[in-house]
Amino acid sequence: MTYKELALDFKNTKNEKSYTMLYNKMYKGLKTYVYNIVKDYDMTDDIVINTMIKIYTRIDEYDETYQITTWAYTIAKNEALVALKKQSKLYSLDTLKDSLGFDILDESEYDEIKTEDELFEEENILQEQMKKIKMEVLKLPKIYKDYLYPRMYKNAKYNDILEEMKKVEPGISLCTVKNRIHHGKERVRKNLINDPLFKNFNMECI
């Protein structure tokens, strides 16, 4: 089973076996990710365990419009930053920058490591953004929605979408599929660009 399938099975059935399988499947990747932030083995173990506990206790909050790994790594990053904040007297700013890495945080964020409440709020905003993006995709005209939805929410490959849509439009080409997905994304971006919820959102992520 995939990460998402395990997460959804645990969310819907509270099957402990699914959670255990999800834990084992995600553990190694989370540990590597967290260690690259905190550079401390003991702290890494604590953060990974705390992350998986939060997934266990808050699984009903998981929104299947995005991958469980996205949610898990967001929680892990937040836990890591809170842990580093608690250790801040032991870290110079330069050391903290080297530990976090520019690929994890924007440079402007180094000025102030945020509190757990602030990080939790950011996580909630991310969930609201994902919900709103999905709503906009579902509101698209069928000629765009039928192409963009499977690409964004079913991880469908372009060729798979092409083969499926050939059943409806036999003469369609791969180029047409890509164009319709592109134009669908452009419409979603246009509809959200002035939404206050997306003020600091990178629209290229859509």
pTM of structure = 0.48
Q: What is the DSSP letter of 114?
A: P
pLDDT of residue 143: 94
> Which whole number is the average pLDDT over 173-189?
93
Residue 77 lies in domain: 3-128
Same domain membership, residue 155 and residue 122: no
- What pLDDT digit, counting tens, does each position of 113-162 carry? 455 555 566 667 777 888 888 899 999 999 999 999 998 888 788 999 99
Residues 20 and 122 in one domain: yes
Check whether residue 192 and residue 98 sit in a common domain: no
Rounded to whole angstroms, the Cα distance separating 80 from 100 reads: 9
How does pLDDT run across 38-91, given as a tens digit for each residue? 888 888 999 999 899 999 998 988 888 778 888 898 889 888 888 877 765 444
What's the burial of 188, exposed, middle or buried (CB within 10 Å: 0-12/13-18/19+)? buried
Residue 133 lies in a domain: no
pLDDT score at 180: 94
Count of domains observed in the chain: 2
Task: Answer with the one of 128, 158, 191 that is the final residue of a domain.
Answer: 128
Task: Tell me the C-alpha distance between 20 and 70, whole Å.
Answer: 19
